Amino acid sequence: MEFKRVVITGVGTVNPLGNSVDEFWNNLKHGVSGAGPITHFDASLQKTQFACEVKSFDATQFMERKEIRKYDLYTQYAFASVDGAIKDSSLNIEEVDGDRIGVIWGAGIGGLQTFFEESRAYKEERPRFSPYFIPKMIANIAGGLLSIKYGFRGPNYTTVSACASASHAMIDAMNMIRMGKADIMLTGGSEAGVNEAGMAGFNSMRAISTRNDDPKTASRPFDKDRDGFVMGEGSAAFILEEYESAKNRGAKIYAELAGGGMSADAFHMTAPDPEGRGANLVMKWALEDAGLKPEDVDYINVHGTSTPLGDIAEPKAIVKTFGEHAYKLSISATKSMTGHLLGAAGAVEGLACILAINNGIIPPTINHFTDDPEIDEKLDFTFNTAKKREVNIAISNTFGFGGHNATVVFKKL
């Protein structure tokens, strides 16, 4: 079967570095940290009291005020990023065929804040749950509500694979167009885990940094003194279209979504395979899917969470996958700035890849102070300062609890 080509014609985001694509990119390339003391709730009893929060978010710009109470924050973030992507794409929603447009969305947890608030209210205030509890909390509701809002009646579901969720959503959405099952797909991911339950849960696992005295330098991918990831939140969205159709309507094309890979570590509930076997497979298969050779790749936006084990395994996998070309690649871990957006990570980091291609700039991995002897120091992690480089092929890695791995390939046109 000959696959159709898929391109990206619209992008949108709301994340800790900005509530628009331009604001996000400006802060990303300048190495700005999105971390700071938590404002969403009183975090004084938490072991970790900081996170990368979305700032100055106003949901009324994207939905009616009476609707806001029906939607968890993760859904509100989805609506915000999608609004930006659709406007950016110049699609006329009134004229397109909704039967041929689908929505595949990614969310690792969904309405965690809703679940926590309703459970606490049931125990402390009232012996009943809100009628909005279930539809507000379930992880698939953002994608469902987006299809309702825009009248998109094509394939619609949500991928839930922890931190790989949005990447899996993008790959599935790409394949729908490739196989002719849709002409246009809306995809991306959203997450809102900066709340009491989310922070306390990851603290109990010892997964997140406790560097309360210096939040902005707490996310330290590949640094010897890293002590866990920093929680982030937000969303990014993409309009995918069949290439010939997009070209014929004169659409602005950011990049081709050229391929994707999926694998499993089959190793441990939360720890990565120490030799990066699953990570090696997923990058290898993503390149094969895109019809590319390892030496074609210019840039990797790595999973790079700032955890003790993960930051050792991924570089090993890169060297195994790319051989000597690994030392010619540019690599960066943008979670050093955005924090870890969990199920939305692949969407925001995919956007970073697209913007690197369009601007010829590799965003930095900030907060590097001390080399780790267990990490190959010959690899170019773009530490602390962005650099100019032509980027024709970029890949984004995302690895989730449970051993779920996804790699997405972006190609300059």
- Phi and psi dihedrals of 411, rounded to 5? -130, 135
DSSP 121-162: HHHHT-SS--TTHHHHH-TTHHHHHHHHHHT--S-EEEE-BT
Tokens at 66, concatenated: 């009476």
Of 168, 303, 368, 404, the catalytic one is 303
168 classed as catalytic: no
303 classed as catalytic: yes
Kind of pairing between the strands at 393-400 and 50-52 = unpaired
Q: 67 CB contacts (<8 Å, ≥6 apart)?
A: none
Of 340, 353, 368, 404, the catalytic one is 340
Estimate to the nearest angstrom the gap between the alpha carbon of 97 and the chain centroid.
Answer: 28
Of 163, 353, 368, 404, the catalytic one is 163
Distance CA 202, CA 230 (A): 10
Angle in degrees, CA 319, 305, 392, rounded to 5? 55
Reported as type and span, the H/E element at residue 319 is helix 310-322
- Phi and psi dihedrals of 264, rounded to 5? -130, 145
52 classed as catalytic: no
Catalytic positions, written as ranges: 163, 303, 340
